[in-house]
Amino acid sequence: MKRIINVFNLVAGIAIIAFFSAKNDPKNPPVARTGAPGETTCQASDCHRGGSFVGTVQIAGVPDTVLPSTAYTITLKQKSNASLAGFELTALGKDLLRAGKLTNVAGTSIASNLGREYIRQANSKAIVDSVTWTFTWTSPASLVMGDSITFYFVSLAANNDRENTGDNVLVNKKSVVLKRTSDVIDSKNNIDFTIQNKNLIIKNQKDVKLAIYETTGKLIVRKEIKSELEFINLEKFTSDIYILKIEEKNAIKFFLP
């Protein structure tokens, strides 16, 4: 009899902990709550309801046109009069499946479901006027359909009373265009060069300073060109795309090594 009572108490304790944990969604909220096509939000699915907080949720760090296979640091920001905040985001192509790759950092987590990838809070955050999360998104090399990518994202505006009432969701989305590789290669911007046998050959650019950057902004090479024909070996260039810049002309071109 004592054993039965102990088992009952254990099960009841687990149920109570799960109940209160679910109330606040403090860690890793359910996926498919971004408001993307075919999805609800935590407010629409009734796991949070009844709030009247006013605010906005936005993302920054990703331009309107993105380069293929390029990492972007995205900051999601909620600005509101709430007391507690969480978020969830997904990036989809026109086929409504995952576009690119999300990378989590401290305070976030990644989950996948039915061909979509999600990043969300690992822990909720207190908010005083505004709160942010920062993470990395790497654009795809190409898309199956079209050239557009849409970020669907929500942020929970909660009252921090450990109940699922008195909370509401802020919803937004942002669409970007993936630049085609052919566009990247053909954009010359007044720099004459070719790539042969893993060498970048710069032509007709004597007495200028040349710089090569990764698309993240990291400087890889800076040198002064002394002749009409300059060779730069690319064997150790491991990224997909680089930026070539002639500093005196402020001329820029992207290239694939």
Q: What is the mean pLDDT of the chain?
A: 80
Q: Residue ranges of the alpha helices (H) in 62-187?
A: 181-186
Domains 2-178 and 181-255 share a fold: yes
215 φ, ψ to 5°?
A: -70, -10
CA dihedral 33, 35, 40, 46 (to 10 degrees): 80
Provide mean pLDDT across the span 112-130: 91
- List b or e across 163-194, with b for residues whose CB sees 16 or more CB atoms inside 10 angstroms: ebebbbbbebbbebebbebeebeeeeeebebe
- Better-predicted residue by pLDDT, 159 or 138: 138
The domain at 181-255 falls in which architecture?
Answer: Sandwich (2.60)
Distance CA 167, CA 163 (A): 9
The stretch 74-88 carries a mean pLDDT of 92
Going from N- to C-terminal start, the domains of the chain cover 2-178, 181-255
Q: What is the pLDDT of residue 71?
A: 93
If pLDDT is split at 50, 70 and 90, which confidence band does 8 have? Answer: very low
d(CA 83, CA 92): 30
Q: pLDDT, tens digit, for every residue of 64-76?
A: 999 999 999 999 9
* Mean predicted confidence (pLDDT) in 45-70: 83
CATH of 2-178, one of 2.60.40.680, 3.40.50.1240, 1.10.10.10, 3.90.180.10: 2.60.40.680
pLDDT at residue 233 greater than cutoff 50: yes
* pLDDT beyond 60 at 217: yes
What global pTM score does this model have? 0.62
Task: Compute the average pLDDT of residues 34-61.
Answer: 81
pLDDT digits (tens, 9 = 90+) for 160-209: 777 777 688 999 999 999 987 655 544 444 677 888 888 888 887 778 88
Residues with Cβ within 8 Å of residue 151, at least 6 apart in sequence? 59, 62, 89, 90, 91, 173, 174, 175, 176
